A and B are shown apart, each in its own frame.
Chain A
Amino acid sequence: MSLLNGITYGLLLFMLSSGLTLIFSMMGILNFAHASFYMLGAYFAYQISTWVGFWPGLLVAPLIVGAVGAAVERYGLRRAHRFGHVAELLFTFGLAFVVEEVVQLIWGKVAVDYRIPAELDGTLFTLFSTDFPIYKGFMMLISVGMLVALYALLTRTRIGLIIQAALTKPDMVEALGHNVPRIFMLVFGGGTALAGLAGVIGGNAFITEPGMAAAVGSIVFVVVVVGGLGSLGGAFVASLLIGCIQTFSVALSISVTDVFALIGVSLPQGSQVARLTITQLAPVLPYLLMVGILIFRPRGLMGARES
């Protein structure tokens, strides 16, 4: 059961981070606004679902998000790019700010009632007396479908091959005379559309509210960094790994004292460290993992290159 939960969560993380990996590796941009596009996806889908239902939203919302992303690249990032990486990064930083405010302005500060469609509401199967909801199955389906589509796109099409080449050797592709700015715009648009798609299916599984971007903002960086630059496969493995780590560490009821006892260190009784349980630590474990990875293997799990 924990494994299933971990995989579902991991797959959602992957949907978010695949776009970021593309953007980060190709353009070198730490897109701080990536999670904002995830949020926009959820809100657009909500808005569309109130008009014409969930299914059209599933298709249309990511496209709109992608268009917004492409416009942001064209009219904002491209200009910031001239001033270097820090300026680019700060641009996305500011963008995240503005997106959150605008979302609050349009849809209000409270969560919106974005619901799971009736046909997906229910139990898929019951395992060890715990229900597995249909919607989670649907989420898995979509993310695996996206993974397959992305893989096909990257390995079977010309533009995909260029993008792949650009992931590992950005200078080379430019030298070969490809229209790099246009590719950048496409990649940024595509990457944000993927985030938008994650928002569409994540928004109703969880909660669609203005803070949702901030909640996942830094964890996707962890995934990308742990997975390694330029590696979609790495991002995939890292997503699942982090999903499972979080889930399993919650399931374990042991304390830090026990862990240290395993390696033969006994902590002073009653100290604050000894009191902690692994469950308490669960949500910060990914950061621990990231720092560890960066120190001992800066390329990430499957990274093609260092930063």
Chain B
Amino acid sequence: MKSKFVQSLALATSALLIGGSAFAQVKIAYIDPLSGPFANVGDAGLKGFKEAAEILVNQKGGIMGQKLEFVGFDNKGSPQETQLQLKAAIDQGFRFVTLGNGSGAAHSLIDAVNKWNARNPDKTVLFFNYAAVDPTLTGEKCSFWHFRFDANTEMKMEAISNFMEKDKNIKKVFIIGQDYAHGHQVAKYTKEMLTKKRPDIKIVGEDLHPIGRVKDFAPYIAKIKASGADTVMTGNWGNDLSLLIKAAKDAGLKARFFTYYAGGLGTPQAMGAAGENMVLQLTEWHMNVPTKSTEQFALDFNKKYPGIWFYYLRVNNMVQMVAKAMNTAKSTDPKAVALALEDLRFPVDTGEVWMRKSDHQAMQPLYISIFSKKDGKAVKHDSEGTGYGWKTLATVSQRDSQLPTSCIMERP
């Protein structure tokens, strides 16, 4: 063990020495969990970025002739470690970082990047956020050095509530969520928006449970059932979502679940048949959205990486938009790239993504879909080999999820 340690120390030091910027590459540091409980998500994301960079950028001429490369940095899901890894990346000459998992880590990174840039104006760093959805990141905490390529919680709720507004079958809604910032926000927006749009809908209950600690959701389901709710709104993800759905099915609860993350890696497999015709999700894409090239891209990806299913269209969007911005700016200087990204309108497979200048929040089309049996038509592809896939119920145009921002951005 000791020799291993010495060895790695030697390796690490040599890596630090040659770090600099000797490579003719545009390198982006991917700081996400690559070990520990959330490693599967982090690992899938990294593979997605590498694949997207290779196929969508490098095979099409690269960035001013240079290759785009993503390098993984393991933050183990911890905000503190995120900062250390940022330092490591900066040492090795990285000027762009991306992160998606965990609002805690995202807050930590945006903070660290802001401070670094203020203290080292000649070596600025730019942060591309591909999945952390806390609205404050483009709200009160918005930063010139941060761009978000995913719709935030508030926008997603706007889209969902618009959908609910039209569905007259919805009469009673129950809100259940994890007891932390994201769960609180989902609950808050649900109540705000529904009372405004459909005052006749009754919120019949609201429960928050500690994150990742509930093993048996049966009592929660019993409560939902007793409340007579026909619709459940939840921001849960991972096991907290799969267990919720399983318990609902066990108890024979007949309600529809509006979710943010039912399509997330591993969740379709974990909920399996239990989710049929019961679970809805809101995403920027899913396998059964008719598109030109993404479907093939996803099929190739799934084949190449067995066990991982292509999920993030926004990863592809982000890679292309960043490449476009660099090519337009004819520079890989973070500030120039940031300026070129602002207000960029980029045609993607599902329509257009617009990076709003005022808060650096991407606007894009979204889809509401339901978990249904694979039928070869509307559900052409199943999800994670379960025999069930996502069927589009509604398309939300880019405009329909736009909301005003509270961002007051400090610009350099």
Q: Which residues of A contact B (CB under 8 A)?
A: 1-2, 5-6, 8-9, 12, 104, 108-113, 115, 123, 126, 129-133, 135-136, 205-207, 209-211, 214-216, 219, 246-248, 250-251, 253, 277, 279-280, 282-284
Contacts and interface: CB of A to CB of B under 8 A. Distances in A.
B: contact size bracket: 35 or more
B266 A280 contact: no
Contacts of B386: 113
Contacts of A277: 207-208
Contacts of B307: 108, 110
Given A131-B250, A131-B251, A207-B242, A109 B39 contact: yes
A110 B250 contact: no
B370 to A, nearest CB: 21
B251 A2 contact: no
A31 B239 CA distance: 25
B376 interface: no
Nearest to B385: A113
A111 B266 contact: yes
A123 B210 contact: no
A110 B220 CA distance: 25
A133 B223 contact: no
B220 A250 contact: yes
A207 B212 CA distance: 12
Contact of B252 (A110, A131, A279, A284): A131
A34 to B, nearest CB: 15
Given A111-B269, A279-B209, A216 B222 contact: no
Contacts of A211: 37, 212, 239
13 contacts: A2-B222, A9-B218, A109-B266, A110-B40, A111-B270, A130-B222, A131-B252, A205-B246, A209-B270, A247-B219, A253-B223, A280-B209, A283-B209
A283 B242 CA distance: 18
A248 B222 CA distance: 11
Q: 6 shortest A-B CB distances, which residue pairs?
A: A131-B252, A109-B40, A110-B266, A250-B219, A111-B270, A247-B219
Given A113-B386, A130-B225, A209-B266, 14 more contacts: A110-B307, A111-B269, A111-B270, A126-B252, A133-B251, A136-B250, A207-B239, A209-B270, A248-B219, A250-B209, A250-B223, A277-B207, A277-B208, A280-B207
Contacts of A284: 210, 213
A210 B222 CA distance: 28
Contacts of A112: 269
B43 interface: yes
Contacts of A8: 216, 218
B200 interface: no
B266 A5 contact: no
B355 to A, nearest CB: 32
Contacts of A132: 251
A136 B219 CA distance: 14
Given A207-B246, A250-B220, A279 B213 contact: no
A251 B179 contact: no
B63 interface: no
Contact of B270 (A129, A131, A207, A282): A207
B243 interface: yes
A249 to B, nearest CB: 8
A131 B247 CA distance: 11
Contacts of B208: 277, 279-280
B37 A251 contact: no
Contacts of B218: 5, 8-9, 247
Contact of A206 (B213, B215, B219, B272): B215
B265 interface: yes
B205 A123 contact: no
B225 A215 contact: no
Contacts of B209: 250, 279-280, 282-283
Contacts of A113: 269, 272, 386
Contacts of B10: none
Contacts of B216: 5, 8-9, 12, 206, 246
B222 A251 contact: yes
A251 B223 contact: yes
B252 A123 contact: yes
Contacts of B118: none
B225 A129 contact: yes
B297 to A, nearest CB: 21
Contacts of B270: 110-111, 207, 209
Interface in B193-228: 205, 207-210, 212-216, 218-220, 222-223, 225
Contacts of A283: 209-210, 213-214
Contact of B215 (A123, A216, A248, A253): A216
Contacts of A109: 39-40, 43, 266
Nearest to A279: B207
Nearest to A115: B272
Interface in B305-333: 307
A216 B239 CA distance: 13
B207 A210 contact: no
Interface string B97-141: 000000000000000000000000000000000000000000000
Of B209, B216, B269, B272, most A-chain CB atoms within 10 Å: B216
A163 B88 CA distance: 55
Nearest to A243: B216
Given A110-B269, A209-B266, A215 B40 contact: no
Interface centre among A5, A104, A215, A280 (most CB of B within 10 A): A5
